[in-house]
Structure 1
Amino acid sequence: MSATAIPAAPATLHTATGREATRWVAAHCRQVPWLTVATVLTTVTGAALRVLPVLVLGRVVDGVVEGGSRSILVTLGGVMGAAALLGAVATAVSTWLIGRLGADLLARLREGAVRAVLGMPSARIEQVGRGDVLSRVGDDVAVLSKGIRTAIPTVFSAGVLVAIATVGMFGLDWRLGLAGAGALPAYALALRWYLPRSAPLYRKQRAAQADRAQVLISGLNGIDTVRAYRLEDAIREKVTHESWRVRELGIEVFRLFGRFVGRENRAEFIGLVLILVVGYALLEADAASLGEVAAAPLMFHGLFAPLGAIMFTFDEAQKSGASLVRLVGVLGEAAEDRLVGDTSVAPADTAPYPVTVEGLTFRYPDAEEPVLRDVDLTIPAGGSLALVGATGAGKSTLAALIAGIGTPQTGSVRIGSRDLADLDEAGARAVVSILTQETHVFSGPLADDLRLAAPGATDAELLDALRMAGADGWVDALPDGLDTMVGEGGERLDVTKVAQIALARLVLGRSPVVVLDESTAEAGSEGAAELERAVLAACRGRTTLLVAHRLTQAMAADRIAVLDAGRVVEHGTHDELVAAGGRYARLWRAWREGSPSAP
């Protein structure tokens, strides 16, 4: 059976368009209709009440000119005061409701994005890079959170106020309204100039920050390799280069925004001049009252504050918009690239399954040559197979494919009678567990860390798993036993203890097939020997694929496969391969000569 070739996935996570992000926000608002309606009504009411005193002021001026009674003036003054007070209250309520609606939106978006990232296949995470992933669920969430607290409520409230004030000017006199509207083309031209330039620039800035994060993460994760090969200067140069790129983009953003502010000020000047000129002409022609002519420039001048607020928070709003489309883009990752979570294929018992690899060829995206070519392997049910070969031979890639991480271009991997290509990653995890040298201990009680593999496990089962992993000695000495805090801020654990915790999780997981990719490589020689004994105990009775870091591991396996340039060049037991005098025999002789503890 040959797997269907699939197109290469993008090298970065999907970024939504502005229209897609708007649709997502609208759909969320429809899910909380009462909150959305209350937010809009209080915002409009607050804006209207803030404009009302200016309209009333025009009536006051006309009343004074016409010699109106003092009681009318007092009444109008009372209306102005009440409107100002109620407007302040409505604006405060509106701001609170906008914040609540935004916080609810952010919570849903953050949870959805984190769930989507956690649900992605491991191969997809490795393909896009951890920097892009972390910048989205970390930096982008932080930027959007700040924008929701500050910029977005300001822009929304100010935008409504601008619309209400514009309508109010037309209510005074349509000609004064048209004069004020004469500034709109200048505003529109300023926005038309700014928006197409700013949105891509903000997205480029966020992408540059993701690249900087990726360089930092890569350097920190590989700190031992960096020090061993004296790559500190090279890594530092990369970090410096990416940091300067972020800095230059920040300067470019600031410069662009400054030019936008200049264009906005020009539009304000045009509008105010037009209102003054038209108002003077109407007054001279006795076509408008003094109150109307006096109120119009005051109302237009009142637009300066909300327009200025929009301008000075538009920078933050644009950043929030760039983060929003990136987060919504995570939700838009193709469904077939997601961890669906179907564990219905989980076996009812732990009976071992055979593993069969037939005609497997795999090439990474954008690579010219396959890393694996026409690989055929069989691991009998309950048996073990060790992969041996030079660095770059394809051992880890083959182990990942057998664990269900990635899909070969041709060929197949079958667990029992099921082709892994027919399972989502959750289904694959139900029958195959993979353990690598990159093991993480989560912050919290040791029992909680172990129960990640078996949420319903009892304390006795946890202790049995730790005992099988060879960790019972140091666990018994912990101050609070299974309740002892481990991970960041907790009990300090060396690499051997961390590996033993991972092995205990493996035991608790009870999957019938186990893939071990150099899981003891980080331990010292004494700790590695102890871990190798624990690995044999943990995998007993399970079908096991072992990427051997030490030839003693390969010797302990039932059979050994030697990979070279992506092909299986030798296959057999340890004794058969040594007797054949081929590549494995040469590796074995070299290892014995270089290792005084070799048998």
Structure 2
Amino acid sequence: MSTVGEVTRAALRDRRAELWRLAGWSLAEALPGMLAGLLTARAVDDGFLAGRPATGLLWLGLLAVAVLVGAVGTNRAYALLGDVVEPFRDDLLRRVVAGALAGATGGRDDDAAVARLTHQVEMVRDTYAGLLMVVRGFLFAAGAALVGLFSLAAPVALLVTVPVLAGLGLFAAALPAMVARQREYVLADEDLGRVAVAAVTGHRDVTVSGARDRVTGWVGGYVDAQARVERRLATMAVTRGLTLAVGGWLPVPVVLLATPWLVRQGLGPGAVLGALVYVVRGVQPALHALVQGVAAGGLRFAVTLDRLLRTGTPTPATAGTPAIAPVTPRTPAPALSLRGVTFRYGPHADPVLDRLDLDVPAGDHLVIVGASGIGKSTLAGLIAGVLHPQAGTIHLDGMPVADATPSKLADRRVLIPQEAYVFTGTLRDNLTYLHPDLPDAALARAAARLGLTGLLARLGGYDATLRPAGLSAGERQQLALLRAWLSPAPLTILDEATCHLDPATEARLETAFAERPGTLVVIAHRLSSALRARRVLLLDGRTALVDSHQGLLDRSAAYRELVGYGTAGTDEVRSSPPRGRSAPLPAGYAHPSSP
């Protein structure tokens, strides 16, 4: 079985060309850190203190040029990140899917496979990218600072190197304990996901048998266990703080205390100042980024990847044993489930939705249609958790919406309403606030997939400042749709989110979202959306029917009237399903709104 180190080294070897380009731009990025202290010392000693301010300004001008070169290097380095990270993620997904399929065909129940395929694979992808940039940043930034220190004053470089190495040694000694704590957290997370799936799957039997309190206590025990593990993991912050104090802050008083001796050795005030610049602006931030990055993302990467490799590799069949054993098919938990949902705007108002039952499988593409005011947007708000029913339950991916925190809801669904939200800020901030720290390469790929590259260029690029009043309604909707595409949430809800777009643009965007991994629910602005859907939910004020577009045309006079087919054959359609077609899908049936 592959280890974390082997898999990581293999992934890096496979992307050698991209890594060499990344290293080249990293050198450009590190140029200001290498020259900052040296040029500062020259500006002070040879310029300002020597009575030659023009010379001092010249040295500082050279530093400004170096900063510009470094900015270009940073931009190009982040642009290359996706070329290194995304192939690693794709390979990992293949491993996990292969392992889950092998386990299923081998008769092994594995409810945690969903958590690995979604949450854990994305965690490894994100932490791999972060770890790569953190280690790269430390090597080049700290290396540049030390090279600059030795060029400026070798004695100062030695004074700084000793505490830095001591801090790194302390951090390395604490890493095994940190890894153990992080592994406990991952296992606790899987255990909680497993029991939650079991509890949600059997919630009806639990309610009927009166075992709700006992099952709640059982699940609560796993929640408490995960909380204890998280608290133990948090105590490791003390070690990180000690590492930063020794390696990052101790060099500053060491240099200050040694200043009289350094001056006696012939060092000028500018050289001492330059040495402090290297420590405070080079070594200290680089060490801080390394410790925090490895302690956070690095540990999650190592432990989660180890877990995926252990559980995601198919187990070879033993001799004489069939590779595939017959198993009983298992129904996966739906991405969205509503049971007996009733909602009314006011205690005495007629219900907008009455005792609605609906299941939406993971990966489904459902379009909701109906006359204006029938309750489509209300249903979208209930699904998203921004409205709460007076009766019934709603679950997203097995999680009760009523009890979910806003952050938990944001992890599972993204809602784009008719009036798209755009705030004053940069284009990048508007696009990535649901998934921060996305590299520009990922933004560019998403924009190209949705056909919005031209719009982003017209708006001035990722660093351009947007003002909502300066955008058209259609532009705001397209930006909101791109933001939803970039969200990691598996369920996307589009509530007439394309109403200000022309039909061709709407079709292009809806088709792209239908091909995106995850589940798509569309509140239709135009009935052409129903032609692109796998299933259509019709709300007509009395019943709710779900079927394909053609199935509803065959079965429902209300649907035919909605699309302009008239009402002929109403009695025959309502009385029985048409010949050659299946009966209504049980998962989409809703009780009538009146007895």
What is the Cα deviation at residue 123 of structure 1? Answer: 3.6
- Tell me what 1:212 maps to: 192
Matched, 1:106 2:104: no
8 A Cα contact 2:47 2:53, kept in partner: no
CA displacement, residues 382-424 of structure 1 (integer Å, 9 cap, x when unaligned): xxxxxxxxxxxxxxxxxxxxxxxxx8xxxxxxxxxxxx94542
- Tell me what 1:63 maps to: 46
From 309, 323, 332, give the equivalent of 1:424.
323
Provide closer, same or farther for how the CA distance between residues 98 and 445 of structure 1 changes in structure 2, counting only shifts above 3 A: closer
- Tell me what 1:293 maps to: 272
From 229, 251, 260, give the equivalent of 1:280.
260
Q: Using the alignment, how far apart are the partners of 1:481 and 1:272 within structure 2?
A: 66
- Tell me what 2:222 maps to: 242
Structure 1 counterpart SS, 2:236: helix
8 A Cα contact 1:51 1:168, kept in partner: yes
Consecutive aligned runs of 4 or more in structure 1 exceeding 6 Å deviation = 439-442, 480-484, 487-491
Matches within 5 A, 1:273-352: 273-286=253-266, 288-302=267-281, 303-313=283-293, 314-334=295-315, 336-337=316-317
Structure 1 counterpart SS, 2:50: coil
| Residues 35-44 or 108-117, more deviating | 108-117
- Tell me what 1:500 maps to: none
Matches within 5 A, 1:51-200: 51-64=34-47, 67=50, 72-123=55-106, 125-126=108-109, 129-131=110-112, 133-148=113-128, 150=130, 152-200=132-180
CA displacement, residues 244-267 of structure 1 (integer Å, 9 cap, x when unaligned): 111111122122213421342243
What is the Cα deviation at residue 319 of structure 1? Answer: 1.9
Q: Using the alignment, how far apart are the partners of 1:137 and 1:101 within structure 2?
A: 20
Structure 2: runs of 5+ lacking an equivalent: 334-360, 367-528, 539-543, 548-595
Provide closer, same or farther for how the CA distance between residues 442 and 482 of structure 1 changes in structure 2, counting only shifts above 3 A: farther
Q: Using the alignment, how far apart are the partners of 1:113 and 1:40 within structure 2?
A: 31
Letter paired with 2:217 = E
What TM-score, normalized by structure 1, do the two folds share?
Answer: 0.52
Q: Using the alignment, how far apart are the partners of 1:487 and 1:436 within structure 2?
A: 26
Provide closer, same or farther for how the CA distance between residues 437 and 316 of structure 1 changes in structure 2, counting only shifts above 3 A: closer
8 A Cα contact 1:176 1:279, kept in partner: no
Structure 2 counterpart SS, 1:42: helix
What TM-score, normalized by structure 2, do the two folds share?
Answer: 0.53
Matched, 1:260 2:240: yes
Letter paired with 1:111 = R
What is the Cα deviation at residue 64 of structure 1? Answer: 2.4
CA displacement, residues 286-306 of structure 1 (integer Å, 9 cap, x when unaligned): 2x3433222112211112223
What is the Cα deviation at residue 214 of structure 1? Answer: 0.6
Specify the structure having the higher radius of gyration (Cα): 1
Q: Using the alignment, how far apart are the partners of 1:135 and 1:488 within structure 2?
A: 29
Q: Using the alignment, how far apart are the partners of 2:74 and 2:207 within structure 1?
A: 58
What is the Cα deviation at residue 318 of structure 1? Answer: 2.0
Q: Using the alignment, how far apart are the partners of 2:365 and 2:254 within structure 1?
A: 71
Q: Using the alignment, how far apart are the partners of 2:162 and 2:284 within structure 1?
A: 15
- Tell me what 2:472 maps to: none
Q: Using the alignment, how far apart are the partners of 1:113 and 1:148 within structure 2?
A: 17
Letter paired with 1:53 = A
CA displacement, residues 213-244 of structure 1 (integer Å, 9 cap, x when unaligned): 11011112233433343322222112111111
Structure 1: runs of 5+ lacking an equivalent: 1-13, 338-406, 408-419, 447-479, 494-599
CA displacement, residues 414-458 of structure 1 (integer Å, 9 cap, x when unaligned): xxxxxx945422xx6xxx7x6557589775589xxxxxxxxxxxx
Percent identical residues: 16
Provide closer, same or farther for how the CA distance between residues 39 and 330 of structure 1 changes in structure 2, counting only shifts above 3 A: farther
Aligned length: 354
Provide closer, same or farther for how the CA distance between residues 140 and 437 of structure 1 changes in structure 2, counting only shifts above 3 A: closer
Letter paired with 1:485 = R
Q: Using the alignment, how far apart are the partners of 1:488 and 1:176 within structure 2?
A: 73
Provide closer, same or farther for how the CA distance between residues 112 and 437 of structure 1 changes in structure 2, counting only shifts above 3 A: closer
Q: Using the alignment, how far apart are the partners of 2:143 and 2:69 within structure 1?
A: 19
Alignment RMSD: 3.7
Structure 1 counterpart SS, 2:103: coil
Letter paired with 2:284 = F
Letter paired with 2:277 = L
From 13, 33, 39, give the equivalent of 1:50.
33
